[in-house]
Amino acid sequence: MEFCQNINLSKNILSYKRSVFEIIFFSILCFTISFFLVHPQWAVGTVVNAILFRVAITQKGLKFLLPIVILPSLGAILSGLIFGTPVLNLFIFAPLIWLGNFLYILINKSFILKNRLNPVISLASASIVKGGILFMGALIAVYVFNFPNILLTAMGLIQVLTAVFGGLLAISYQEIENMFFKQV
């Protein structure tokens, strides 16, 4: 983890036009990726979380985040990524996924850009919070509302791992981008 100690991600806030372009591009990608990759869930989740992390460190403020927060889960549900077919239960569970995605972005944005915390520590914290919220919601959904047990697997440890790997992928990409396109 030594390579992450000198990362300064706070200098990567995008201009307004590029910010709007990236939000539109990433929103479309987040929605459609589940239709193209289909399976495995970890691959889709890693790419989506890489996008969520990139948005956290490059977007100023929170005003454009709604599509990035909502569209990945809608794409996953409609493509049948989790249960093989779109299931009403997942539409009911979607707001909890949105909350997890929003907190993942917000925690990383706050810890890295405002508090200048090491990105790996921020990433680990945000991933645990996101995974914990989704798993607790899945426990309630399964044991109180009789959702299918597979929801526990889909919303368990795999969520934490894809959030961590996605964030590490985004950090690596950002470091490569900074190396080749040094900002003046």
Q: Beta strands of 14-137 (E only): which ranges? A: none
Token look-up 């591009």 returns 25
Query: What single letter denotes the amino acid at residue 173?
Result: Y
Which has the higher per-residue pLDDT, 84 or 33?
33
Answer whether residue 182 shows pLDDT above 80: no
- pLDDT tens-place string over residues 112-165: 888 888 889 999 999 999 999 999 999 999 999 888 888 898 899 999 999 999
CA 111, distance to chain mean position in Å, is 16
Mean pLDDT over each residue of the chain, to the nearest integer: 85
Residue type, 182: K
pTM, to two decimals = 0.86
Report the pLDDT averaged over residues 37-45.
Answer: 81
Does the pLDDT value for residue 3 go beyond 50?
A: no
Q: Is residue 183 very low, low, confident or very high in pLDDT (cuts 50, 70, 90)?
A: low
The DSSP 8-state label assigned to residue 118 in this structure reads -
> Residue 183 — φ and ψ, nearest 5°?
-85, 135
Is 9-180 in CATH node 1.10.1760? yes
User: In the prediction, which pLDDT does 85 show?
Assistant: 57
The pLDDT assigned to 173 comes to: 92
